[in-house]
Amino acid sequence: MRTDTQTITRLEDYRPPDYLIDTVELDIRLDPAATRIRSVLKIRPNPAGRSGAPLVLDGDELLFHGLAVDGEPAPPDSYEATPEALTLREPPAGPFALTVDTEVNPSANTKLMGLYRSNGVYCTQCEADGFRRISYLLDRPDVLSVYTTRIEAEREEAPVLLGNGNLRETGEVEGTTRHFAVWHDPHPKPAYLFAVVGGDLARTAKTFRTMSGREVEIAVYVEPGKEDRSHYALDALERSMRWDERVFGREYDLDVFNVVAVSDFNMGAMENKGLNIFNDKYVLASPDTATDADYANIEAVIAHEYFHNWTGNRITCRDWFQLCLKEGLTVFRDQEFSSDERSRAVHRIAEVRTLRARQFAEDAGPLAHPVRPTRYREINNFYTATVYEKGAEIVRMLKTLLGDATFARGMERYFERCDGTAATVEDFLDCFAEVSGRDLGHFKRWYEQAGTPTVTVGTAYDPQAGTYRLDFRQETAPTPGQPDKAPLVIPVLLGLVAEDGGRLDCVSNNLREDGLFVLESATDSLSFEGVRSRPVPSLFRGFSAPVRVELDLPDSDLLTLLRHDTDPFNRWQSAQTVALRLLTALARDPSQAPRDEFPDAIGAFLDRSGRHDPAFTAMVLALPGETEIAQEIGRDVDPDAVHAARDRMKAALGHRLGERLRSLRDAFPPEDRYSPDAASAGRRALRNAALDLIAAGDPAGGERLAAEQFERATNMTDRLAALVTLSLIPGEVRETTLARFGELYAAEPLVLDKWFALQAAIPEEGTLARVRELMNHPAFAFSNPNRVRSLIGSFAMANPTQFHREDGAGYALLAEAVLALNGTNPQIAARLLTGFGTWRSMNAPRRAQAQAALERIAGAPNLSPDVLDIVQRSLA
Ligand code: PHE
Ligand code: ZN
């Protein structure tokens, strides 16, 4: 193994930069194969750095053309220029100007980092370290500069030229067919927030009046012809801006805010200052091409990137270890936004489902890491569910612990104090410690300690004395590099529910008024007095902490909660817990027969469901996923047994509840006009959840219903749901419908992505061959991250039985794809490779196959740092 060739970056080694760069003036002459960049940097020694140190600017695959210091060409022996660095041996002692000329080839840039072309559109991606692929710079987030960017291009090729900040000037380049635009961003920023765009793009725009009365032009740019699909994103942007003013008091700070959609993008979107660049799947929406889930995602991602303007851009990160400072906080903010715009309870359930599926899985495997890691070999591998989603949960816990008002004051202080700085997690926590007068040192462990804590709760009721006691114990399993774990500060929001659903008046001396109990040590107890009847505890209401809970409650108590709890999250959770118990038992011992109790309880729930939000009812109908069941089993997992258990349980539900489900569908007939609002989406979700179960219980009847729905559907949500249901029923109808869908949307890559994904997820032996065939489909391309994620990513992440085939053929397919992408797009290759993340929890034959596949990858020549890092950690 080549650990030796990899440099490790450590948090404790942080040193301030030796030089600061006050201004960056760029002149970028766009050209498909030879873009020239001239950069003028105003540099001065950093008083906090080492004086007299050489100046080492970062580069990556750069073609160097020349260097001048204070306008004078630099003598050749005064510097060294390689593709990776530009070193000025003895920089002037005072401020000086450096002029650097470089050249890059955007068309050949398949890594999609730096300046590249997507469908002919020039665009950039600089986070985390992509700027150095455009020009030499101190490419680190604690170097903040004011940027002025002149962009020049052929008018015909790139009529639209966009940069950060405000537009200063436009014009023709005399005597040529070229034109230019000059953009100026007055807000100092790190290089990772830099962006330019040039291309033939269509604009949809409106004027936004800020809370202080300033007018901002907000616009969404898409490929010409797709303007009608940009309205929802623009609307979501406007709502995000309004919400951030109202809820966090944050006003936008430039005259324009532009969003650009591109088809080739490694991630979801990027918060470049005033010029967000998006993966087009998070912008483009029409009823015919986007599902309700797409609309919700667009709203969330638009909000997320916009919210970064304050949490990320105005206040940025000192170093990349602090990534969660912007990401966890911004995810928290976008989750709050979506909860306000939609149903809070339903949104919370959706958040927790993803957290468990992705983050808990990560925490339980070889790639587990703290929310704030302390070392990395490749920072791009740390844009993880842990940093993002668990990072958001930590912020939410802080709010729960401090209370809404104190939390708001802490945020206020953070915005005031840290504005314009590159901050740390400590800076953030200090603000909350000050406004609350509390010591948050213990709480900070959440950032430092990896792994999901398990909280075990025992109960003891004494009817004579009228006392009730809850005994808590917390424990966190070892994770890589962290064998011993310390207790965390765990906020437990709870309440007691009477068995008959009535009120239970009782007192406890250790419970805050809103039902908060804080577990701070390894074990603790909470006692109640005056308890007149046996209570059922409702614990971790609203999922008040990202932990797994082990409860000694009987199923009957949980079903009481499903019926009577005032907390909607726990109503859902209690049904899930019962289902999970049954599913794990069934997976462990397939000779068991599923009992009717659970279906009957769900049936009774459905009978009362007129009182519920349809979206909530749909959530209750969805059984825990295979990943979650596998996690619960923990080790020696047999994915076939897990799948079979879930399948049988679904069939039992569908069978037992068939009539009710059919009448539910009839109660919510399709609407004539599609509207993406949460209430309409909820009705569609319920109708489609019912379809899914009906088909599980009665495949022939379900097939007829689904085929009919497919034909009649007037929107993509219903059409796709029908196709997903059909995809699970082998036979003629499935194959012809799949083929029809493929033809219908042959010209719609984002729709074909759904088609790739659902076929890759079919839990049948033939899927491997199907995926291989689809890899040859004319619409599939290894060069496009969305295609790769849809086909190969969903095979690895959404099809446990086939990816984890006992013969190792699923692993081999993924390994092949990883190696195919290793050279061209290492970030996507590494991301795919995380599909192996749970390999150690599989049973012995699968473990052996996975290990062999990982070792084959590890032994391949020319591995990128990205892939090498993941493969080595996976095998460690
Ligand atoms: N910073 C982006 C976001 O979370 C994600 C991203 C990271 C995009 C790296 C591109 C590259 O909003
Ligand atoms: Zn983000």
Over the stretch 634-660, which tens digit does the pLDDT of each residue have? 999 999 999 999 999 999 999 999 999
305 within 8 A of 337, measured Cβ to Cβ? no
The arithmetic mean of pLDDT across residues 241-270, rounded, is 98
Lowest mean pLDDT among 118-132, 497-511, 673-687: 497-511
The arithmetic mean of pLDDT across residues 544-555, rounded, is 96
Ligand 1 mean position to 104 CA, how many Å? Answer: 23
Our answer on whether the CB atom of 269 is closer than 6 Å to any ligand 1 atom is yes
Which pTM value belongs to this model? Answer: 0.98
Catalytic residue among 25, 152, 305, 378: 305
Q: Is 154 a catalytic residue?
A: no
256 within 8 A of 271, measured Cβ to Cβ? no
The arithmetic mean of pLDDT across residues 492-507, rounded, is 90
Q: What is the pLDDT of residues 797-818, one digit of tens each?
A: 999 999 999 999 999 999 999 9
How many Å apart are CA 306 and CA 322, to the nearest integer? 20
B/e letters for 742-773, b = 16+ CB within 10 Å, e = fewer, are beebeebbbbbbbbbbbbbbbbeeebbebbee
Q: What is the pLDDT of residues 186-218, one digit of tens each?
A: 999 999 999 999 999 999 999 999 999 999 999
pLDDT at 365 over 50: yes
Nearest CA residue ID for atom 2, ligand 1: 270
Residue of 129, 192, 240, 271 to test ligand 1 pocket, by largest number of atoms within 8 Å of CB: 271
Q: Mean pLDDT in the chain?
A: 97
Which pLDDT value is given to residue 4? 46
Nearest CA residue ID for atom 7, ligand 1: 127
Which pLDDT value is given to residue 5? 55
DSSP structure class, residue 442: T
866 within 8 A of 826, measured Cβ to Cβ? yes
Our answer on whether the CB atom of 127 is closer than 6 Å to any ligand 1 atom is yes
The arithmetic mean of pLDDT across residues 595-612, rounded, is 91
pLDDT at 358 over 50: yes
Cα 576 vs. chain centroid, distance in angstroms?
A: 23
Our answer on whether the CB atom of 262 is closer than 6 Å to any ligand 1 atom is no
The arithmetic mean of pLDDT across residues 302-325, rounded, is 99
| The token pair that represents 569 in the structure block | 């999250």
Q: What is the pLDDT of residues 73-116, one digit of tens each?
A: 999 999 999 999 999 999 999 999 999 999 999 999 999 999 99
The arithmetic mean of pLDDT across residues 592-602, rounded, is 91
Which pLDDT value is given to residue 3? 45
Which pLDDT value is given to residue 2? 42
Ligand 1 atom at minimal distance to the Cα of residue 388: 4
Our answer on whether the CB atom of 304 is closer than 6 Å to any ligand 1 atom is yes
Which pLDDT value is given to residue 595? 84
Q: What is the pLDDT of residues 16-53, one digit of tens each?
A: 999 999 999 999 999 999 999 999 999 999 999 999 99
Which pLDDT value is given to residue 1? 39
Our answer on whether the CB atom of 126 is closer than 6 Å to any ligand 1 atom is no
| The token pair that represents 20 in the structure block | 């600061």
Ligand 1 atom at minimal distance to the Cα of residue 327: 4
Task: Please write down the HEC assignment for all residues of 448-501.
Answer: HCCCCCEEEEEEEEECCCCEEEEEEEEECCCECCECCCCCCCEEEECEEEECCC
545 within 8 A of 491, measured Cβ to Cβ? yes
| The token pair that represents 361 in the structure block | 């899985």
The arithmetic mean of pLDDT across residues 706-723, rounded, is 98
The arithmetic mean of pLDDT across residues 588-598, rounded, is 90
**Angle, helix 344-354 to helix 568-588, in steps of 10 degrees:** 30
Q: What's at 779, amino acid-wise?
A: A
Closest residue by Cα to residue 316 from 432, 184, 424: 424
Q: What is the pLDDT of residues 724-754, one digit of tens each?
A: 999 999 999 999 999 999 999 999 999 999 9
Cα 122 vs. chain centroid, distance in angstroms?
A: 25
- The end-to-end CA distance of the chain, in Å, is 11
Identify the band that residue 594 occupies on the pLDDT scale cut at 50, 70 and 90: confident
Write the DSSP string, 329-359.
Answer: HHHHHHHHHHHHHS-HHHHHHHHHHHIIIII
Identify the band that residue 609 occupies on the pLDDT scale cut at 50, 70 and 90: confident
The residue to which tokens 């309409």 are assigned: 680
Cα 813 vs. chain centroid, distance in angstroms?
A: 25
Which pLDDT value is given to residue 674? 98
Stated length of the chain = 876
pLDDT at 67 over 80: yes
